[in-house]
């Protein structure tokens, strides 16, 4: 990746920046980049905290399928790498599944769960067409409640926005995080 267009802030941080970064969690490059706009970063923290919490109505595994797939389709190696590093094992992904999320399709043999295939198809459809057709909608609804489908849609959109920002700002990759070529 080329040089950062908006360099992540470095310590020592001004007290307001330090307070927002403390709420955001690990002081990764993305959060330190967002801290250039302290009001935005603070506002984003509430929604981002929901998306990564147990309050989200889908499992961690389904959540990470959405996030990893969105980031891979958006070619956001930064956010994809952070999520693979922190959550792939917790989500129970094997190497074939991470490879499929990154370069494959919902029809890959590693996806045996119809619900997981439906989620992958939803992400692909949203990425390609910004919509989900009636057949896929019915499939999603056969596996997920209306509340869960809403969470899935907004989760995909959230990580699309995160991918846009990370890519365009050229957020530097985290040391030790996996790269697309690793899979």
Average pLDDT over the chain, rounded to an integer: 97
- pLDDT surpassing 60 at residue 31: yes
What mean pLDDT do residues 98-116 have? 98
Same-domain pairing of 99 and 139: yes
Are residues 133 and 71 located together in one domain of the fold?
yes
Question: Are the C-beta atoms of 124 and 105 separated by less than 8 Å?
Answer: yes
pLDDT (tens digit per residue) in 43-70: 999 999 999 999 999 999 999 999 999 9
Q: What is the rounded CA–CA span in Å between residue 53 and residue 113? A: 23
Are residues 156 and 86 located together in one domain of the fold? yes
- pLDDT surpasses 60 at 156: yes
User: What is the model's pLDDT at position 1?
Assistant: 55
Give yes or no: residues 44 and 76 share one domain.
no
Inter-residue contact 74 to 169 (CB < 8 Å): no
Give the tens place of pLDDT for each residue, 3-30.
999 999 999 999 999 999 999 999 999 9
Residues spanned by the domain of 33: 15-51
Do 11 and 32 form a contact (C-beta atoms < 8 A)?
no
What is the distance between the alpha carbons of residues 73 and 80, in angstroms, rounded to a whole number?
10
Residue 149 shares a structural domain with residue 68: yes
* Same domain, residue pair 42 and 73: no
pLDDT of residue 71: 98
Q: Is the pLDDT of residue 141 over 90?
A: yes
Q: Domain check: are 167 and 117 in the same one?
A: yes
State the residue for tokens 């959405």.
66
C-alpha span between 13 and 30 (Å, rounded) = 15
Boundary-marking domain end, from 51, 70, 97: 51
Q: What's the pLDDT score for residue 2?
A: 80
pLDDT score of 132 more than 70:
yes
Query: What does the pLDDT look like over 78-88, one tens digit per residue?
Result: 999 999 999 99
Confidence of residue 114 (pLDDT cuts 50, 70, 90): very high
Residue 159 above 90 pLDDT?
yes
Domain count, the chain: 2
């Amino acid at each position: 990746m080329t040089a950062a267009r908006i360099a992540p802030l470095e310590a020592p941080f001004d007290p307001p920046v330090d307070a927002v970064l403390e709420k955001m969690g690990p002081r990764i490059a993305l959060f330190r980049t967002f801290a250039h706009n302290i009001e935005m970063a603070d506002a984003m923290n509430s929604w981002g905290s929901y998306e990564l919490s147990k309050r989200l109505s889908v499992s961690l595994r389904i959540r990470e399928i959405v996030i990893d797939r969105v980031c891979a389709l958006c070619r956001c190696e930064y956010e994809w790498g952070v999520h693979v590093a922190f959550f792939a094992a917790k989500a129970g992904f094997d190497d074939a599944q991470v490879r499929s999320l990154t370069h494959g399709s919902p029809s890959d043999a590693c996806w045996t769960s119809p619900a997981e295939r439906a989620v992958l198809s939803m992400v692909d459809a949203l990425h390609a067409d910004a919509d989900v057709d009636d057949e896929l909608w019915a499939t999603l609804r056969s596996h997920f409640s209306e509340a869960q489908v809403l969470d899935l849609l907004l989760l995909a959109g959230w990580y699309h926005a995160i991918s846009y920002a990370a890519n365009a700002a050229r957020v530097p990759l985290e040391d030790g995080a996996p790269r697309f070529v690793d899979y």
